[in-house]
């Protein structure tokens, strides 16, 4: 067996809920990532996969067990271990080049050196010619390339990819996956081991030397399947199909209770919690779908999924946002409009914004906190960094960024505050604007 790089020994992690009760998310996780291997991690949404990766990346600490990196306890983030996140988490106001350079800059590397390193990776990952582009000018696939470039530029020996391909359309995801495999096999990147979290069984079987299946509540490794087929593999081959069946069997054999959707009657978020990554257009689109034929306010999830152009992961985020804000709820695997949700769909624009704003203040502590801060402040404006710092107490850098982006987008729509994209300043909306509409 080759040399271990990262070892988890009996790792456990609790999170504290808003009511103070502790929830065990990981328990007794044993896992070793070795030199030369790609390992895929499959498991239901909410089973703790991202938490495990964040522990391995040193973004959060385990509260039981041991994490070793090259035989030494891991404290905080290590330069050699980098994570690629599902959502692109790019800084919208920075060019591709600057987004890629950020980690090097943070290390204090000289500008010429980091520009050189960034250019090399940008070239490698197929972004040449886009150095000066802003994230919003790029397609999803290109944005995820930037996310990957940002990890690769640090020349990590361990690459942790958390559903890095799942926000992309199928073909783009496949192409990018193949390119990463190519870079890895041809030794063009110094990476020595890769751990990929995927919700796509085929992707796992195509990429990995081992597939791990995670159990939920609490999360732990339930089964392991070695895959010795040589690369490149053919998705249609009998061997691959057989393995896919096998994994499927292992996964459904004793599938956990959690399906990844908020099912509690009332959800209480805490200030530093993540927010569902759902944009307003998608939320309103799903509400429209729900109210109309053939659903009439109640939809079976797979049927609803068929009717949308969203991926499963995106749909879940949107539904969680709707549930969180009190527009829908989950019962017996169906999603139902609430009375409020029904009224919302029928309301005019101004009324909608008002209803939306009210729900935000009630259900999203982060947004209520921002509004409170703005009202307390003499000038009525505050830099977003203030809130990012706060979020970084409980979330990783990327998650903090994501949560704030969502909060800002929602809050703007609810007419609770405005945001200046150039300066990153959040401010109270101008009074008269509200009355004019």
Ligand X SMILES: Nc1ncnc2c1ncn2[C@@H]1O[C@H](COP(=O)(O)OP(=O)(O)O)[C@@H](O)[C@H]1O
Please report how many Cα atoms fall inside a 13 Å half-sphere around the Cα of residue 309, on the Cβ side.
5
Interface with ligand X includes 100 (CB under 6 A)?
no
Least separation in angstroms between residue 215's CB and ligand X is 11
Where do contacts with Mg ion occur on this chain (CB under 5 A)? 50
How large is the C-alpha radius of gyration of the chain? Answer: 22
On whether the CB atoms of residues 203 and 177 are closer than 8 A, the answer is yes
Binders of ligand X in range 32-71 (CB under 6 A): 43, 45-51
CB of 60 to ligand X, least distance (A): 8
d(CA 375, CA 234): 60
State the Cα–Cα distance between residues 19 and 39, nearest whole angstrom: 36
> By CB under 6 A, what part of segment 376-415 binds ligand X?
394
98: number of Cβ within 10 Å: 18
Q: What is the DSSP letter of 295?
A: T
Q: Which is closer to ligand X, CB of 46 or CB of 135? A: 46
Going through 78-205 in order, the beta strands assigned E by DSSP cover: 81-84, 158-162, 193-197
The count of other CB atoms within 10 Å of the CB of residue 167 is 21
Question: Considering CB distances under 5 to 8 angstroms, the limit depending on partner class, which of Mg ion, ligand X, none binds residue 369?
Answer: none
Judged by CB, which is closer to Mg ion: 214, or 356?
214
25 versus 315: smaller Cβ distance to ligand X: 25
In sequence order, what DSSP letters do the residues of 324-358 get, joined into one string? HTTSEEEETTEEEE-HHHHHHHHS-HHHHHHHHHH
CB of 172 to ligand X, least distance (A): 22
Contacts to ligand X from residues 103-132, by CB under 6 A: none
Nearer to ligand X, 157 or 203 (CB): 203
* Peptide linkage before 294 cis (omega within 30 of 0): yes
Query: Which one of 14, 15, 225, 354 is in contact with ligand X (CB under 6 A)?
Result: 15
Tokens of 323: 């549930």
| CB of 330 vs ligand X, minimal distance in Å | 15
Closer Cβ to Mg ion, 313 or 336, answer by number: 313
Would you say 160 or 227 has its CB closer to ligand X?
Answer: 160
For Mg ion, the nearest residue by Cβ is 50
Of 71, 45, 75, give the one whose Cα is nearest residue 57.
75
Of these partners, ligand X, Mg ion, none, which one is at the site of residue 46 (CB under 5 to 8 Å by kind)? ligand X
Q: Which does 263 bind (CB under 5 to 8 A by kind): ligand X, Mg ion, none?
A: none
- 25's contact among ligand X, Mg ion, none, with CB below 5 to 8 A by partner kind, is ligand X
Q: Which of Mg ion, ligand X, none interacts with 130 (beta carbon under 5 to 8 A by kind)?
A: none
Taking the complex as a whole, how short is the minimal distance between the CB of residue 176 and Mg ion, in angstroms? 18
**DSSP-based three-state secondary structure for 56:** helix
218 contacts 48 by C-beta, under 8 angstroms: yes
Contacting residue, 5, 8, 11, 25, with ligand X by CB under 6 A: 25
What is the H or E stretch that residue 145 is in?
A: helix 140-152
Complex with ligand X: residue 43 or 173, whichever CB lies closer? 43
Closest to ligand X by CB, 45 vs 263, is 45
Q: How far is the CB of 213 from ligand X (least distance, A)?
A: 12
The whole-angstrom separation of Cα 274 and Cα 69 is 28
- CA nearest 248: which of 204, 198, 201? 201
Contacting positions for ligand X (CB under 6 A) = 15, 25, 43, 45-51, 394
């Amino acid at each position: 067996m080759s040399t271990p790089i990262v070892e988890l020994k009996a790792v456990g992690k609790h999170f504290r809920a808003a009511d103070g009760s502790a929830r065990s998310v990981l328990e007794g996780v044993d896992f070793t990532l070795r030199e030369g291997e790609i390992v895929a991690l499959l498991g239901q949404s909410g089973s703790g996969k991202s938490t495990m990766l964040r522990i391995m990346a040193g973004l959060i600490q385990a509260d039981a067990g041991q994490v070793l990196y090259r035989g030494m306890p891991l404290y905080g983030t290590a330069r050699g271990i980098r994570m690629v996140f599902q959502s692109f988490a790019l800084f919208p106001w920075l060019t591709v080049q600057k987004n890629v350079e950020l980690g090097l800059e943070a290390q204090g590397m000289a500008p010429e050196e980091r520009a050189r390193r960034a250019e090399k990776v940008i070239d490698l990952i197929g972004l040449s010619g886009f150095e000066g582009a802003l994230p919003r000018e790029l397609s999803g696939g290109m944005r995820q390339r930037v996310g990957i470039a940002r990890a690769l530029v640090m020349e990590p020996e361990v690459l942790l990819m958390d559903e890095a391909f799942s926000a992309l359309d199928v073909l783009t995801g496949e192409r990018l996956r193949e390119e990463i495999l190519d870079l890895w096999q041809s030794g063009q990147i110094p990476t020595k081991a890769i751990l990929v979290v995927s919700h796509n069984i085929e992707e796992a079987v195509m990429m990995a030397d081992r597939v791990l299946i995670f159990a939920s509540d609490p999360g732990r490794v339930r089964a392991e399947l070695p895959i010795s087929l040589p690369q490149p593999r053919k998705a249609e081959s009998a061997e691959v199909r057989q393995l896919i069946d096998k994994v499927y069997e292992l996964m459904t054999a004793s599938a956990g209770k959690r399906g990844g959707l908020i099912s509690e009657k009332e959800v209480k978020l805490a200030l530093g919690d993540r927010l569902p990554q759902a944009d307003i257009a998608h939320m309103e689109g799903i509400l429209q779908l729900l109210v109309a034929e053939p659903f009439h306010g109640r939809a079976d999830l797979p049927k609803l999924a068929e009717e949308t152009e969203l991926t499963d992961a995106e749909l879940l985020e949107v539904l969680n946002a709707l549930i969180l804000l009190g527009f829908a709820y989950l019962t017996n695997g169906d999603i139902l409009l609430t009375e409020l949700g029904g009224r919302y769909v029928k309301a005019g624009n101004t009324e909608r914004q008002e209803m939306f704003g009210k729900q935000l203040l009630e259900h999203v502590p982060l947004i209520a906190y921002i509004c409170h801060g703005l009202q307390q402040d003499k000038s009525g404006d505050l830099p977003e960094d203030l809130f990012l710092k706060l979020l970084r107490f409980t979330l990783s850098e990327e998650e903090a960024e994501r949560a704030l982006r969502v909060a800002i987008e929602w809050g703007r729509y609810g007419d609770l505050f405005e945001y200046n994209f150039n300066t990153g300043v959040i401010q109270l909306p101008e009074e008269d604007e509200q009355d004019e509409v």
